[in-house]
Amino acid sequence: MNILLDTHVLIWALENNPTLSDDARSSIIHAENLVFVSSVSVWEIGIKKHLGKLEVPGNLQEEIRLHRFTPLSINYDHAELASKLPNIHKDPFDRMLIAQAIVEKLTLVTRDELISKYELKILKA
């Protein structure tokens, strides 16, 4: 299974936070699964860190590499779909993650209930 981590799930995975569901945790650590982290999550974390809303290590990209997560850049197809999604979710970061999951045929690991209203595969975090 190829999965994309929602931003909060990325943080929980890096912290080994017990909030993460057993299914999500096992999918993230399963060697045969490709685990993607979007550049939009790195951007979101940076903004929230700068605003003082989030504390994360300064070596975020190094931690992502150490966990063998695969970076996922934003491309034109992602941007176009994100702009055309139904206006269910207002958060632009989440809208991009939804678009990326759909375009790349990834299962999005999230606990955000609004995301489940879109047509994509979800694994509850």
Q: Which residues contact 5 (CB under 8 A, 6 or more apart)?
A: 13, 28, 35, 36, 37, 38, 41, 69, 109
Joined together, the tokens standing for residue 72 give 């996922």
pTM of the full structure: 0.95
Note the helical H segments in 1-125.
7-15, 22-29, 39-50, 60-66, 76-84, 92-104
Q: What is the pLDDT along the chain (125 residues), one digit of tens a residue?
A: 999 999 999 999 999 999 999 999 999 999 899 999 999 999 999 999 999 999 887 889 999 999 999 999 999 999 999 999 999 999 999 999 999 999 999 999 999 999 999 999 999 99
Q: Which residues contact 20 (CB under 8 A, 6 or more apart)?
A: 9, 12, 13, 28, 125
Return the domain boundaries, the chain: 2-124
CATH fold label, 2-124: Rossmann fold (3.40.50)
